[in-house]
Structure 1
Amino acid sequence: MDAPLSLSDNTNDRLNKLLSLYRNDMDKLVNELINYKIRELRKGIRTIERDFYSYEQKYELSTTEFYSLFEDGKLDDTNNDYYIWSGEYETYIEFKQELNQLV
């Protein structure tokens, strides 16, 4: 790290306790944190993909087709499912980008 961490006293205390559990092995700690984040992203992606499947079956559109039509204003904007589906798609893209940066 180039810049020192700017932490509250409470967070700094918690970090020091965590480091002591790892016997000050910062490399191991950071790798475990990264691996945890990767697992959480993959879990989130799988959950969203299951939601996509439900919407795709219900509306007979692939998610990418739906999102393109939705963004172009070609779908009914009073359908609450569409807002949820589009939000999940945007989150899905974010998760995929974050995952690609970490693996």
Structure 2
Amino acid sequence: MQTVTFELQSNIANRIDAFIQLFGSKEVMFDKFLEYHIKKLKREIALMQIDLNKYELKYKMSSSKFYKQIEKGKLGDSKDFILWSGIYEMHLSCKQKLKKMI
């Protein structure tokens, strides 16, 4: 077993201690923390995928193909394209975070 040490402000350390007591152990608390954040990321990814699907249907193009085109400057800067690229970037970022957490 390894030991991990954090320097925290006392109010945060007290809250963590309370959570450890609530969950019964540090390991269970950490597992619950990870479980919560994994579920949250999965929900966010699913919601973003719904938005991406709408753009893909509207413009008859996959998000990855669209993003490659927008990065090359081959598409305009319409409001839809700006939103679509932003959602796609967030989607990729969340998927990368999720991959690191699992």
Deviation >6 Å, runs of 4+: none
Q: Which residue of 1 aligns with 2:65?
A: 65
SS in 2 for 1:51: helix
User: What is the alpha-carbon distance in structure 2 between the residues aligned to residue 49 and residue 11 of structure 1?
Assistant: 35
- 2:43 is aligned with what amino acid? K
How far 1:56 sits from its partner (Å)? 0.9
Consecutive unaligned residues of structure 2, counting only runs of 5 or more, are none
User: What is the alpha-carbon distance in structure 2 between the residues aligned to residue 2 and residue 88 of structure 1?
Assistant: 39
How far 1:3 sits from its partner (Å)? 5.4
- 1:27 is aligned with what amino acid? E
TM-score, length of structure 1 as denominator length? 0.88
Q: Which residue of 2 aligns with 1:90?
A: 89
> Per-residue CA shift, 1:60-101, capped at 9, x if unaligned?
211011101110011112x12211111111111111111112
Q: Which residue of 2 aligns with 1:22?
A: 23
- 1:99 is aligned with what amino acid? L
Q: Which residue of 2 aligns with 1:7?
A: 8
TM-score, length of structure 2 as denominator length? 0.89
Structure 1 stretch 68-77 or stretch 12-21: which is displaced more? 12-21
- 1:40 is aligned with what amino acid? K
Structure 1 stretch 93-102 or stretch 43-52: which is displaced more? 93-102
The number of aligned residues is: 101
SS in 2 for 1:97: helix
> Per-residue CA shift, 1:1-57, capped at 9, x if unaligned?
66521222221121111112123x011111111111110111011001100111111
SS in 2 for 1:92: helix
User: What is the alpha-carbon distance in structure 1 between the residues aligned to residue 72 and residue 64 of structure 2?
Assistant: 12
RMSD across aligned positions (CA): 1.5
